[in-house]
Amino acid sequence: METVGFVGLGNMGGAIAANIGAAGYPLIVNDLNEEATRPLLESGARFGATPTEVAEGSDVIVTSLPSPREVELVALGAGGLMSGIGSGKVYVDLTSSHPNTIRKIGEAFRAKGTEVLDAPLIVGKGGIRERSVQVLASGDRAAYDRVKPVLDAFSDTVVYTGELGTGTYIKLAHNLVRRGIGLAIGEGLVLGAKVGVDPSTLWECMYWGLDTQMHQLRESFAKAVSEPLPDAPATFTLALSRKDVGLAMDVAREFDVPMPIAALVEQYMVEGMVRGWGRQSTASLLKLQEEAAGIDFSSRSGEA
């Protein structure tokens, strides 16, 4: 069984390393906070005094760090992984980082015979310890196939996304959407509270609707990114959605509630109406973003 080196044993990294160890992989671990290594050492892991030492003793090296800065320091800095890697090793970074960072590291490591994968994580309801994790792995396919059993040891879903850096692009897009949804929900909650609705009742009702809506969004966007958007009339049209958002904005103005996200949504809907899409679904608004970015989802689907 291959030896796994792990650098970065914070809240996420420590739990991930523990699951890898529980699957039977020999571990060499390192963290700036040596106390964080103690539970793993007590479970049989070895201690690596530096990232270099971890890399020297490992077949597969994994890092889970706070930001691109730490990733680059651990990988390429003094006492870093670069000094300990060699032919036949694989390096996997789980950090939510920057694609340019992992590609820079990939170029340097490949010159020494080590393949590099970026594999950021989307954590589900059960959390890291329960392996409720989706891994977004990208890079050399043969290296991915080799380390997939290690990734399986701490996750319930592993997706190969393509060339190095694409996993990170997906994670960044996911985080952006997630935070945007959170802010939009916040606007709705504040509007309801400002007009006097009980906050608990407000959230209970909103949650029920959002849960239903997410299933509908999953279906509509799955189609939108893989085939041309239909011109046929929708069951619930953009015109009706525009009416609903407009009414909410009227209330917001009446009660002096700032709604910057809702205002932007309304403007997109106005643009869609001007283009004659009123009888289509709100998914038609995706065409505005496609045009702005100069892409066509339906022609690019499956390229990775």
Read off the tokens for 15: 């739990």
Question: For position 116, what pLDDT does the model report?
Answer: 98
Using an 8 Å Cβ cutoff, are 260 and 190 in contact?
no
Q: How far apart are CA 15 and CA 155, in angstroms?
A: 11
The ranges of the chain with pLDDT < 50 are: 304
- Nearest Cα residue to 46 out of 26, 23, 65, 25: 26
Question: For position 232, what pLDDT does the model report?
Answer: 55
List, by residue range, all CATH 3.40.50.720 domains of the chain.
4-163
Question: For position 104, what pLDDT does the model report?
Answer: 97
List, by residue range, all CATH 1.10.1040.10 domains of the chain.
195-300
Alpha helices in the chain (DSSP H): 11-22, 38-42, 51-56, 68-76, 99-110, 141-152, 166-194, 199-224, 238-254, 260-274, 286-293, 297-300
Question: For position 174, what pLDDT does the model report?
Answer: 94
Question: For position 264, what pLDDT does the model report?
Answer: 96
Residue with tokens 């966007």: 221
Residue with tokens 């995706």: 286
Question: For position 304, what pLDDT does the model report?
Answer: 45
Using an 8 Å Cβ cutoff, are 65 and 46 in contact?
no
Question: For position 120, what pLDDT does the model report?
Answer: 97
The topology (CATH level 3) of 195-300 is N-(1-d-carboxylethyl)-l-norvaline Dehydrogenase; domain 2 (1.10.1040)
Q: Kindly report the pTM of this predicted structure.
A: 0.88
Q: How far apart are CA 261 and CA 263, in angstroms?
A: 5
Instruction: Give strand pairing partners of 134.
Output: 122, 157
* CATH of span 4-163: 3.40.50.720
Q: Name the burial class of residue 185, with classes exposed (0-12), middle (13-18) and buried (19+) by CB atoms within 10 angstroms of its CB.
A: middle
pLDDT tens, position by position, 162-191: 999 999 999 999 999 999 999 999 999 999
pLDDT tens, position by position, 248-297: 999 999 999 999 999 999 999 999 999 999 998 888 888 899 899 998 87
- Nearest Cα residue to 62 out of 21, 115, 7: 7
Read off the tokens for 29: 């671990």
Dihedral sign for Cα 109, 110, 112, 114, please. positive
Query: Within 13 Å of residue 96, how many CA atoms lie on the same side as its CB?
Result: 12
